[in-house]
Chain A
Amino acid sequence: MNKATFYGAGFPYRDFGKLSGKLIVLEGTDGVGRSTQVKKLRRWLEEEGYAVSDTGLTRSELTASGLEAAKNGHTLGPITMSLFYAADFADRLENQIIPALQAGFVVLSDRYFYSVVARDSLRGINRVWSKQLYGMALKPDLILYMKASVPSLVTRLIHGRGLNYWESGMDLHIADNFYDSFVQYQGLILEQFDIMSEEYNFMTINADQDPDTIFEDLKKPILDLLYNRLTKGNKPK
């Protein structure tokens, strides 16, 4: 049982009491295979008998339509875009994540605010401002950072869903084609993650490996977390 702890003031008008669940975050750049791993982890945890809830960025009903419209029209400035994401994040945190944690769920979050801060800071957003804004964020129990090199991201994406406009950072106008832009942009994003890795205490998982090995590497720290602090009974396999 943990008292909810936040990076800053949190939600001072509400007392969430004890959170008996665990918040596990999977972070990493586009194409690193996060959603595949979230699916596998969910199935595994459920087999082990845990109630699991998963969540991702921009899945809040509050802002989904606005964000989609903005993406299609490219009309929002960087601060506006950043705040839209923050509203979405806060909505999910208050209305989905924290209630699930109160009910004892293991919450798997496909990305958290770190991804947003990484992309925002490449668009001229002040990092100190972002950090203060996300003072409402709950501190996760575990942040698993799936770190892959740019060449392996390129390989995975080109053989998968392909390179797209946003994931290539084309809006930054750093190159005239998706490939060069992707390589430069994801390199910059990796630098941002490296900075935050220390700041927020990420646990780095080598995501250049094959998916099954990555899965095994992700399971270990989760087992430690759940076995040591949540269950007193049998250690799950």
Chain B
Amino acid sequence: MLRKNDTKGKLIVVEGIDGSGKSTQIDLLYKWLLSAGYSAYFSEWNSSALVKSTTKAAKKAQSFTPTTFSILHCTDFADRWENSIYPLLKAGVIVLADRYAFTAFARDVARGVDPDWVRSMYSFAIMPDAALYFRVPLDVAVGRITGARASLKYYEAGMDLGLSENINESFELFQGKILNEYDKMVDEFGLTMIDGTKSVKDQQKKVRAIIKKILVGFEGLPNPNKTPISVTNIQAKKSKKGGSK
């Protein structure tokens, strides 16, 4: 379903349910790659500025259906894909993504959309060189989230599914469904499983060992000043052009 990487760059993604510790791990990896002199770029799920205004409003109004939720998250991904991820991969950058298409395959299917439909929607994207799946048992992840956060949000808790009136209970049931979808994808996509219950340091050691292997013989885009890459949408800053109505 996902294309083969046809670029000079490398794509590394982390996946897992909320509270699996993946963001901590990719952040450490990102800093390590930069200090090692690679050109690296970090992209986060649901972060495109243009799509954000739409998703934010719809989340507030709780007007998403599983299908529109799914399409708009893919729109967000597509915007990042077309404006930054793909061109940077082409240029030979290592792109790190905190959540990727697999998040949609897990969450949207847990919400009830057709598995093949959502997979084909993301078929413009490539299969990562490393897809790291941080697996933790449900109770561990739920404990981390409910312990650290003041309150859960409506969609993150899957309240739209009507699994339970109680938001904490709904969250746990929803995360359980997502976990189940992730587990199914390990074989389907060959995700690399990492035990998210191990210490942060142990996990990072494993992550770096995996990435080192991938980077054998890789040159990529030079990074003479060892600086991170940021992409600003230059076009967005231009004034109105053309004769649109």
Contact = CB atoms under 8 A, between A and B. Distances in A.
Size category, B interface: 35 or more
A213 to B, nearest CB: 29
B229 interface: no
Interface of B is mostly: helix
B241 A66 contact: no
B242 A165 contact: yes
A86 B54 CA distance: 14
Contacts of A74: 235, 241-242
Interface string A90-125: 110011000000000000000000000000000000
A70 interface: yes
Nearest to B48: A80
Contacts of A171: 242
Most chain B CB within a 10 A radius of its CB, from A11, A65, A75, A171: A75
B45 interface: no
B71 A86 contact: yes
Contacts of B235: 73-75
B65 A77 contact: no
A209 to B, nearest CB: 28
Interface stretch (A20-28, A130-138, A142-150, A194-202): A130-138
Contacts of B238: 73
A76 B78 CA distance: 9
B114 interface: yes
B242 A13 contact: no
Interface in B203-245: 233, 235-236, 238, 240-245
A132 B242 CA distance: 32
Contacts of B72: 62-63, 83, 87
Contacts, number: 119
Interface in B182-204: none
A80 B79 contact: yes
Given A66-B54, A91-B65, A9 B240 contact: no
A151 interface: no
Interface string A177-219: 0100000000000000000000000000000000000000000
Nearest to B238: A73
B59 to A, nearest CB: 11
A83 B78 contact: yes
A69 B48 CA distance: 14
A72 interface: yes
B68 A132 contact: no
A77 B139 CA distance: 41
Contacts of B81: 77, 79
A164 B243 CA distance: 6
Contacts of B78: 77, 79-80, 83
Contacts of A83: 71-72, 74-75, 78, 121
B176 interface: no
Contacts of A86: 71
B58 interface: yes
Most chain A CB within a 10 A radius of its CB, from B54, B82, B83: B54
9 contacts: A9-B114, A65-B53, A78-B82, A80-B75, A80-B78, A132-B117, A136-B67, A164-B244, A166-B245
Given A62-B54, A83-B75, A165-B244, 8 more contacts: A11-B66, A63-B54, A66-B51, A73-B240, A83-B72, A90-B71, A132-B121, A164-B243
Interface of A: 8-9, 11-13, 61-63, 65-66, 69-80, 83-84, 86-87, 90-91, 94-95, 126, 129, 132-133, 135-136, 164-166, 170-171, 178
Nearest 6 A/B pairs, CB to CB: A13-B112, A77-B82, A9-B114, A165-B243, A83-B75, A87-B71
